[in-house]
Chains A and B, each alone.
Chain A
Amino acid sequence: MAVTVLTACGAGDDDKTTEAVEELGEMEGQVSILAWPGYVEDGSNDPDVDWVSAFEEETGCQVTSKVYGTSDEALNLAKSGEYDVIAASGDLSLRLISSGEAQEVNTDLVPNYDQVFDFLKDSEWNTLDGVNYGVPHGYGANLLMYNEKSFDTAPTSWGAVFEEEELERNAGKVTAYDSPIYIADAALYLMKTQPELGIENPYALDQEQLDASVELLKQQREYVGEYWSDYLKEIQAFETGDSVVGTTWQVIKNNISNKDVAVTLPEEGATAWNDTWMLSSQAENPNCSYAWMDYILSPEANAQATEYFGEAPNSPAACEETTNPEHCDIFHAGDEEYAEQLWFWRTPIKDCLDGRDVECTDYADWTQAWTEIKG
């Protein structure tokens, strides 16, 4: 309790604080944020894309931000203790909580939390044992991007990157997301195409199911030109035509000027992310952090950030604020049935997430498998 009050007053202490703050104090004048590219835009990348300056003027908290490329990288950066607020996807949030890097969030201190879609609150990746560790940002899918010139008819299935006869025509120009979590994309495809494997959840794979997914990815490997985790590299590769088909995010498509490049959500559904703003247990600026969480949940800021990235906003009010009035329809914001078609990133653990009574493969197994797939 003493520690809680200390942190609430903004006094720095080196110990990790995982309990929630009871009440807010004075703004510290700065906040450092760790986030995906496109989440904290202050106009330095594109003068027209800026929602950070408004926050700085409003609260007096100067924002410093760092972007990360993969959830694994983010975990490493978060452990350094240099960041107050972290935008974490579902494959990262539980790891942050279990390693003591996340601080419980008192949602009463985040007024804009009230408007958030109910189904996003207290999800499995931001809440553990009834304790809330963060506020929802938005969600979206890992889409299929392709160059129209390389296809007679637009692909509508992940078969474009998993079936050999489909892969052959684009040999050497296929790309895939460079992270162990991409194994789930293969598992999702097998879940729809090979029901006899019995995959119920692409993040809960027993050894046999993992082996099947790895086999599929090893076959795909023969046709892969390069893997991407740096979004700038993928933009360049699709721009020039070095890559013509593969997974992507909407924000990457938004940054490609090549008119032949298109994206689609394939019929099998897709893996997806559902991001949470989390507070670091080592946060030195908790008051500005709460101010940021509340600000980024506000309809205006959330609409700007999620529309720019290409994902569903987190509240009906934010949908009213988007510049494209159809944005929320396109991304099925608030559509719970649609959200159920998406398989949000989770950290695979030994206890099967789908509740089966067998031992599942964990993230370490997936990391090892990913090294083997790349060969």
Chain B
Amino acid sequence: MAATSHVTETGPGRAADPALRASAARPGSRLLHRRPWLRLALLLSAPLAWMLLVYVLALAALLITSLWSVDSLTSEIDRSWTLENFRTLVENEVYRNVTLRTLGVALAVTVVDVTIALPIAFYMAKVATPRVRNMLVVAVLTPLWASYLVKAFSWRVVLSEGGLAEWSGIGSPGYGLTAVVITQSYIWLPYVILPVFAALDRVPDSMLEAAGDLGAPTGMVLRTIVLPLLVPGIVAGAIFSFSLTMGDYITVNIVGGASQMLGNLVFVNAGAANNLPLAAAIAMIPIVVTLVLLAAIRRTGALENL
């Protein structure tokens, strides 16, 4: 032991001896080894604290805020409990319509994105040469480097009167829900292609070859082998495009014409009408919808394969 201490004192260069480091760390690791709960606590405390602060507390704050009300003249928040905001949401037809419209747009965007993403991802994963595949991955990722706002305003210009859409002869739908679906589909597309591509990439080529050798026609291979293995990727992509569209308000502001979605109502009440409690109540709608959706997907078992 005397030699050891002597070596330790000779300088930092020698201290890197693995045996010495192990001996110094030993009491700690011994303690952790003997107390599994401590090990677990240390490992999980940081992410748990993060979860608690960022998700649970924020959601609780949102729920509490939605139970308050606001004075219309001074905009001071009145902190007595009331269910008035939720009653407004339930009784007023507008909120029902806007919720349905938002759901519809989110669904449409998801369908469009999955439809486009499937062939592209299949080509990237199974057909393209490695060189082409790399180029395609870069091409899919590149739009993510441009600002969301730039992309939305570009679509405003493209769809405007005399803009690129009209000039090219395709014709412009004008500003409105169609424009919103087009723009949102464009913006979220990479988030759908990538998980589908990742899922497809994991399907071994040998499996497809084996199916072919056993005489399965292409349609059958796609239906019975590729599609089941793809479902987790599609679900992941669909969750992205659906929930991101549900909460968005910027695109609707820019190309949505006169239509409004849930995000706009939150924005207007929080940013303009100074009615934070009502905004919080409205914000609960997409949260509840997404939770219900996730629960439903969980029951199908698709989440376990992610």
Return the chain B residue nearest A223 by Cβ.
Answer: B258
CB distance from B180 to the nearest CB of A (A): 12
Q: Which chain B residues (71-125) contact chain A, with CB distance < 8 Å?
A: 72-76, 88, 92, 94, 97-98
Return the chain B residue nearest A362 by Cβ.
Answer: B72
Whether, in the assembled complex, B248 has its beta carbon less than 8 Å from a beta carbon of chain A, the answer is: no
Whether, in the assembled complex, B174 has its beta carbon less than 8 Å from a beta carbon of chain A, the answer is: yes
Instruction: Tell which of B94, B162, B174, B272 touches A372, judged by Cβ atoms closer than 8 Å.
Output: B94
Return the chain B residue nearest A179 by Cβ.
Answer: B272
A241 and B272 form a contact (CB under 8 A) = no
Whether, in the assembled complex, B63 has its beta carbon less than 8 Å from a beta carbon of chain A, the answer is: no
The number of chain B residues with a CB under 8 A from chain A is 30
Instruction: Tell which of B162, B258, B265 touches A226, judged by Cβ atoms closer than 8 Å.
Output: B258
List residues of chain A with CB within 8 A of the CB of B260.
374-375
B274 and A72 form a contact (CB under 8 A) = yes
A73 and B272 form a contact (CB under 8 A) = yes
List residues of chain A with CB within 8 A of the CB of B70.
364
Whether, in the assembled complex, A371 has its beta carbon less than 8 Å from a beta carbon of chain B, the answer is: yes
List residues of chain A with CB within 8 A of the CB of B65.
none
The proximity string for A residues 37-77 relative to B, scoring 1 for CB distances below 8 Å and 0 otherwise, is 00000000000000000000000000000000010110110
Task: Specify which of B72, B92, B98 lies most central, judged by the most chain A CB atoms within 10 Å of its CB.
Answer: B72
A371 and B257 form a contact (CB under 8 A) = no
Whether, in the assembled complex, A95 has its beta carbon less than 8 Å from a beta carbon of chain B, the answer is: yes
List residues of chain A with CB within 8 A of the CB of B271.
72-73, 76
Complex Cα–Cα for A5 and B81 (A)? 41
Complex Cα–Cα for A228 and B73 (A)? 24
CB distance from B172 to the nearest CB of A (A): 10
Instruction: Tell which of B75, B94, B156 touches A75, judged by Cβ atoms closer than 8 Å.
Output: B75
Q: How many A-B residue pairs have CB under 8 A?
A: 80
Complex Cα–Cα for A180 and B161 (A)? 28
List residues of chain A with CB within 8 A of the CB of B88.
368
B272 and A363 form a contact (CB under 8 A) = no
Which interface class (under 10, 10 to 19, 20 to 34, 35 or more) fits A? 35 or more
Task: Specify which of B88, B162, B271 lies most central, judged by the most chain A CB atoms within 10 Å of its CB.
Answer: B271
List residues of chain A with CB within 8 A of the CB of B161.
240-242
**A347 and B73 in contact (CB under 8 A), knowing A72-B273, A225-B258?**
yes
**A72 and B258 in contact (CB under 8 A), knowing A98-B73, A349-B73?**
no
A76 and B274 form a contact (CB under 8 A) = yes
B272 and A225 form a contact (CB under 8 A) = no
A99 and B75 form a contact (CB under 8 A) = yes
Instruction: Tell which of A79, A224, A240, A363 touches B258, judged by Cβ atoms closer than 8 Å.
Output: A224
Task: Specify which of B175, B268, B272, B275 lies most central, judged by the most chain A CB atoms within 10 Å of its CB.
Answer: B272
Return the chain A residue nearest B94 by Cβ.
Answer: A372
CB distance from A225 to the nearest CB of B (A): 6
CB distance from B159 to the nearest CB of A (A): 9
**A375 and B94 in contact (CB under 8 A), knowing A225-B258, A241-B162?**
yes
Whether, in the assembled complex, B301 has its beta carbon less than 8 Å from a beta carbon of chain A, the answer is: no
List residues of chain B with CB within 8 A of the CB of A100.
74
Complex Cα–Cα for A99 and B268 (A)? 20
The proximity string for A residues 210-247 relative to B, scoring 1 for CB distances below 8 Å and 0 otherwise, is 00000000000100111101000100110011100000
Whether, in the assembled complex, A316 has its beta carbon less than 8 Å from a beta carbon of chain B, the answer is: no
**A364 and B74 in contact (CB under 8 A), knowing A221-B258, A240-B163, A242-B160?**
no
B94 and A95 form a contact (CB under 8 A) = no
List residues of chain A with CB within 8 A of the CB of B97.
375
The proximity string for A residues 168-200 relative to B, scoring 1 for CB distances below 8 Å and 0 otherwise, is 000010000001100000000000000000000
Complex Cα–Cα for A172 and B179 (A)? 14
CB distance from A183 to the nearest CB of B (A): 13
B258 and A227 form a contact (CB under 8 A) = yes
Whether, in the assembled complex, A367 has its beta carbon less than 8 Å from a beta carbon of chain B, the answer is: yes
Complex Cα–Cα for A363 and B265 (A)? 17
**A79 and B73 in contact (CB under 8 A), knowing A240-B162, A241-B162, A375-B97?**
no
Complex Cα–Cα for A221 and B258 (A)? 8
The proximity string for B residues 240-265 relative to A, scoring 1 for CB distances below 8 Å and 0 otherwise, is 00000000000000101110100001
**A362 and B272 in contact (CB under 8 A), knowing A226-B258, A240-B162, A372-B92?**
no
List residues of chain A with CB within 8 A of the CB of B163.
240
A-B contact pairs, 25 of them (CB 8 A): A72-B272, A76-B271, A76-B272, A76-B274, A99-B73, A180-B273, A221-B258, A224-B257, A225-B175, A225-B257, A226-B256, A226-B257, A240-B160, A240-B161, A240-B162, A242-B175, A347-B73, A362-B72, A363-B72, A363-B73, A364-B275, A371-B94, A372-B92, A372-B94, A375-B97
Interface of B toward A, CB cutoff 8 Å: 70, 72-76, 88, 92, 94, 97-98, 156, 160-163, 174-175, 254, 256-258, 260, 265, 268, 271-275
Pairs of residues from A and B, 7 with the lowest C-beta to C-beta distance, nearest first: A364-B72, A99-B74, A72-B272, A226-B257, A241-B161, A240-B160, A224-B258
